Structure 1
Amino acid sequence: MVENRPFLNILTHLVLIAGVLVVAFPVYVAFIASTHEPSAFVRGVLPLLPGDNMLESYGQMLSSGWQVGGTPPVWLMLGNSLIMALTIAVGKIAISILSAFAIVYFRFPFRMLAFWVIFITLMLPVEVRIIPTYAVVANLGMLNSYAGLTLPLIASATATFLFRQFFMTVPEELMEASRVDGAGPMKFFRDILLPISITNIAALFVIMFIYGWVQYLWPLLVTTEEDFYTIVLGIKRLMASSDRVPAWNLIMATVTLAMLPPVLVVLFMQRLFVKGLTETEK
């Protein structure tokens, strides 16, 4: 039985509110900076109220970008990042769930060896294998393409491991019952395993979407054309404008717009996301 102590309840809520303020204040500062003149951010006194340049800053970045900083319109970079994030998330989940299904429910030679080989790749992130991966992508002619942006990042040992662990908790009676009813392996997978895996898929989708959205190093290597710039790469190019004061209002407007898609994904899938991470019984 949990005791009801008003003091501890108040203290808990104060700590939570303080945590929210610490996390949200930089976001608020970014939004405020996007509504002021560029010089307002470097005067030494940080404005805390919105300025008059909001429509101008956001309109310029969405419509034409900032040619001085070498960045295309934000809508184009947001679209590239969205394609990259969705492809990586869906591809990782599709490959991982099929791999886990094969490892758990099929008895083929060296299946556990195959699983451990997949699991060991956790120690080989993109940064470790980036040179040979780049060489392969370049030799296949996939530079400056969506295939080059997404395919090298699409496999996931983490998702394979999580799906395997979940499938091992599914009662064997379900598989036996489906077999008695004449269902084949793929029908069992489609009609039984997929429906009970929705929360796990949703939780992994959110994680993998954000993973794909915030990629910086790999897009920096494989894209040299503005048509394939991602939003994170665009922010870096805005920051790297040489021999001039950075246009902080445009940079912060781009940062604010870049935060919206992952925030919306988390908000819309919050219930399934939390349920997929905390639910233990199916």
Structure 2
Amino acid sequence: MSGTPDPRPTPEAGGARHGLPHALQALRAIVARELMKFGRQYGRLVSALVRPLLWLAVFAAGFRNVFGVAIVEPYDTYIPYEVYIAPGLIGMVLLFNGMQSSLAMVYDREMGLMRLLLTAPLPRWWILFAKLAATAVLSLAQALAFVIVARLIGTELPLLGPQTPALLLAAVCGALMLGALGLLLSVHVKQLENFAGTMNFVIFPMYFMSTALYPLWKLEEAGATWVWQIARFNPFTHAVEWLRFAMYGKDPGVSPWIVLGTLALCFALAAWGYDPQRGFGQLTKRGS
């Protein structure tokens, strides 16, 4: 009969919820949600800037004449110590925000928001990638704010020029890698109470056993062989070195491959961990 509605869904109604347009819409929605949430958390930006600026203004000034930086790659001349540690402080901003995203994932999971999001009609890895992209966007925004304030207090960095695209690529990949590490850690952190200890166990060794504050040859020269060996294989070291070499338009060597490899490995393990059937996360079985 002509007056009876057809119960079958139209192709437009079914296709609107699947495919690339739906996936991109979900990506935009998740990134926009994280940006809006960050915009309401004024203290988060302040804390993200205070930490590296304190190192730049106080630590670098106090140790300027203690830590001499020889003329080694990527530098063509002697540089002030604050110029040397600036890429490491940018890496600090990316590292802390990547770990902060892990806290947000644990909080969303405890409040039930993450479980609701994971039931969306999209591949689970895509939802996790959207969360990772949102983390990277926030990390880069905070890093840019740090660079602007550092420039205002007199730290000049070679950011603009032919090397700018390579520098942006290094920053984006570093932010994604550290965000993927935070994503992986959120699989294991079951409750907010356990977050602080886990993060301290990860953040401080990763930061201090790297080239963020001193070059590798200084560690080797000082006889700290085991610290030197750890720093050589620390992915954060290679994220910082990629940034440092990109600033001066020099070849970063194997650093990009180590950063990209760590990114792929951490994201793959996180996607597997968030699978309740195969992964070790078993999120749907966690009642507390």
Q: What TM-score results when the alignment is normalised by the length of structure 2?
A: 0.32
Q: What TM-score results when the alignment is normalised by the length of structure 1?
A: 0.32
Higher relative contact order (CA 8 A, sep 6+): 1
The structure number with the bigger radius of gyration is 1
